[in-house]
Amino acid sequence: MEGPIEFEIHDLRIATGDDVAFGHYTGGVRCRRKTGVKTEYRVRVSVGLRKVGGAWLIVHEHVSLLFASMEAMQAALGSA
């Protein structure tokens, strides 16, 4: 990647307990590849946290790409 990576969080949902929490959201990512091509895509993120010694620590995180179609997925992966 060249230059800054822009990241926006959408539809954030958080559920908490005394010592555990879970969150999920979709994110928008925009950047410029080393080839100069601008790219934009969406991801879905899930994260699990546990409170240890008074601090919240991420104990699990999963990120997946969102695609509207097989063609969009192939185009995005082909420009990597």
pLDDT of residue 78: 63
Collapsing DSSP to helix, strand or coil, 36 comes out as coil
Tokens of 72: 């969009």
Alpha-carbon separation of residue 58 from 9, 14, 21, 36 (angstroms): 18, 13, 9, 34
Q: What is the pLDDT of residues 15-68, one digit of tens each?
A: 999 999 999 999 998 998 888 888 888 899 999 999 999 999 999 999 998 776
Q: Where are the beta strands (DSSP E) in 17-73?
A: 20-32, 38-52, 55-66
- Fold exhibited by the domain 2-78: Nuclear Transport Factor 2; Chain: A, (3.10.450)
Where do we find the tokens 């990576």?
5
Residue 37: the pLDDT is: 87
Q: How confident is the model at residue 72 (pLDDT cuts 50, 70, 90)?
A: low
Q: What pLDDT was estimated at residue 39?
A: 86
pLDDT confidence of residue 79? 54
Q: Report yes or no: 13 and 46 within 8 Å, Cβ to Cβ.
A: no
CA distance 47 to 4: 24
